[in-house]
Amino acid sequence: MDNQSGSVERLGPQARLQGELAKLESQNRDIWVLSIFAAVVLLLGGLSFLVPSSFWQLNQLEVRISPQVLFLVMMVVMVVALYTMRRESEVRKLRLVNLQQTLSAQSEFSASMVDSLTNVFSRSFLRELLQGEIARAERNKRPLTLMMCDLNHFKEVNDRFGHLMGDYVLAQIAGILKSCVRGSDYVVRYGGDEFLIVLSETDETGAQIVHRRIEQKLADWNGSNRLGDFSISLSLGLHQHIPGQSAEQAVAESDVRMYSEKARLRAAMASSAPPRIS
CA dist 121 to 38, 118, 126, 164, 222, Å?
Answer: 57, 8, 8, 21, 25
Model confidence at 233: pLDDT above 50: yes
Query: pTM for the full model?
Result: 0.61
Residue 206 has a pLDDT of 95
The mean-pLDDT minimum among 7-16, 41-50, 154-163, 226-235 falls in 7-16
Share of the chain above pLDDT 70, in %: 62
Q: What are phi and psi of 189, to 5 degrees?
A: -80, 110
Mean pLDDT within 139-167: 93
Q: For the segment 77-96, what is each residue's pLDDT rounded down to a tens digit?
A: 767 776 777 777 777 777 76
Instruction: Give percent of the chain above pLDDT 90.
Output: 45
Confidence of residue 267 (pLDDT cuts 50, 70, 90): confident
Condensed to tens digits (0 to 9), the pLDDT of residues 109-124 reads: 555 688 989 999 999 8
pLDDT at 228: 82
- Average pLDDT (9-23) is 53
Largest pairwise CA distance in the chain: 121
Mean pLDDT of 64-82: 66
What is the DSSP code (8-state) at residue 192? S
Q: Which of 46-55, 69-78, 144-153, 224-233 has the lowest mean pLDDT?
A: 46-55
Catalytic residues: 193
pLDDT at site 174: 95
**pLDDT (0 to 100) of residue 53:** 59
Mean confidence (pLDDT) of the chain? 78
Task: State the pLDDT confidence band at 5, using cuts at 50, 70 and 90.
Answer: very low
d(CA 210, CA 185): 11
Architecture of domain 121-270: 2-Layer Sandwich (3.30)
What was the pLDDT predicted at 141?
94
pLDDT tens-place string over residues 172-220 = 999 999 999 999 999 999 988 999 999 999 999 999 999 999 999 999 9
Q: What is the pLDDT of residue 8?
A: 35
Q: What is the pLDDT of residue 93?
A: 73
Mean pLDDT of 46-54: 59
Q: Is residue 140 very low, low, confident or very high in pLDDT (cuts 50, 70, 90)?
A: very high
Inter-residue contact 177 to 150 (CB < 8 Å) = no
- CA atoms within a 13 Å half-sphere pointing along the CA-CB vector of 228: 4
- Please state, in angstroms and rounded to a whole number, the distance separating the CA atoms of residues 198 and 19: 40
d(CA 209, CA 239): 14
